[in-house]
Structure 1
């Protein structure tokens, strides 16, 4: 029984370290956050962190994967066999971003990228790589699926996909800069964002001739 408890603790340790790291980054930013501070919050020795992560950059990358990339990968993994509409998949992608980034403590990762990215280009590069390969790759597959199924207009095939996520990125920036003065309701913004996008890309019914 004791061995099983120890095994469960070891399996839970990476998630506990990441939770502690998020709190450390939230309070100190990236530059001043330390492995020692993360370890103290997690209730472990500093050396234990290095059993799971190579360093602070690796912890930051793991947080991005846990909070944003992994949920997107789940949608992508479901696509080959799912009978779900492309519109529904697109709504799920937007939901992940607004719930996991805009409307949660995970927004601190975006704040770090904006405020400290010029000092730590490695974390900007890893975010760009992750979001380009996974996020935009998934959006492209969803758009292609929607066109093939007759849900989306065929003329959006060459659309710059950054147009689709522009309002979400603006929301993050607004919350970071003006959130204390004029906060945005993430649920309301997500609903308006989805409506704006779908009104632009959804296949329209033919209009009767006058």
Structure 2
């Protein structure tokens, strides 16, 4: 029986590169899609452009994601909704006070979502939800509801431990989330490329927001004034 011809090192290296390239395609496609969805919006993003930016053919993209809608859902799961299991686990293991937990929540959100390209996804959904109701329902189910539930659990923890006063939890959740969404939208609109008064320092902004959530505007003996610059 004739022996097979030896495989050259160059051929083996090429096969290895091809294998790595194939394995990397889904993540590269999701990264390219995130960039384009945030830059152009859902309606204006073409599958051809996503494939081109990722360096693959449109046919290759459809091997992994059968439609633009499924590609968008995968982007949301990769960057936001797929992280709720970890965030809920962190909630269960947190041992500090609830004010400290709320601080951790706000600044973790900034580090993991707010300061990344993924912070453009909420703005996209707010602007295009009416035109794509199926995607809006998906986003409601996989992002908004779990996010609201997690914030509500934090507030309930504070009330149960007598660290927070009783409140309407539905609107308590909104009071926590609304400024975070504002910061995300601001940096993808007026805060993007504009100078002067339109610039916000995210850490100072979140510190001010946390101070307002915990103390409000009213000066009381229980909550004397603490200059913002002294906050960590």
Residue in 1 that maps onto 2:214: 198
Alignment equivalent of 1:49, drawn from 55, 58, 61 = 61
Larger Rg: 2
Structure with the larger RCO, 1 or 2 (CA within 8 Å, 6+ apart): 1
Q: TM-score, normalised by structure 1?
A: 0.78
2:23 and 2:89 map into 1 onto residues whose CA distance is 24
Deviations 1:108-142 (A, max 9, x none): 32332233332222222222222333101111222
Residue in 1 that maps onto 2:122: 110
Q: TM-score, normalised by structure 2?
A: 0.72
Q: 1:82 to 1:11 in 2, by over 3 A?
A: farther
Residue in 1 that maps onto 2:183: 171
1:72-151 alignment, distance < 5 Å? 72-151=84-163
8 Å contact kept, 2:47–2:68: yes
1:7 and 1:149 map into 2 onto residues whose CA distance is 54
Q: 1:184 to 1:8 in 2, by over 3 A?
A: same
Residue in 2 that maps onto 1:33: 45
Question: Which consecutive unaligned segments of at least 5 residues does structure 2 have?
Answer: 1-11, 224-232
Q: CA deviation at 1:30?
A: 1.3
8 Å contact kept, 1:73–1:134: no
Residue in 2 that maps onto 1:156: 167
8 Å contact kept, 2:120–2:184: no
Alignment equivalent of 1:65, drawn from 77, 85, 94 = 77
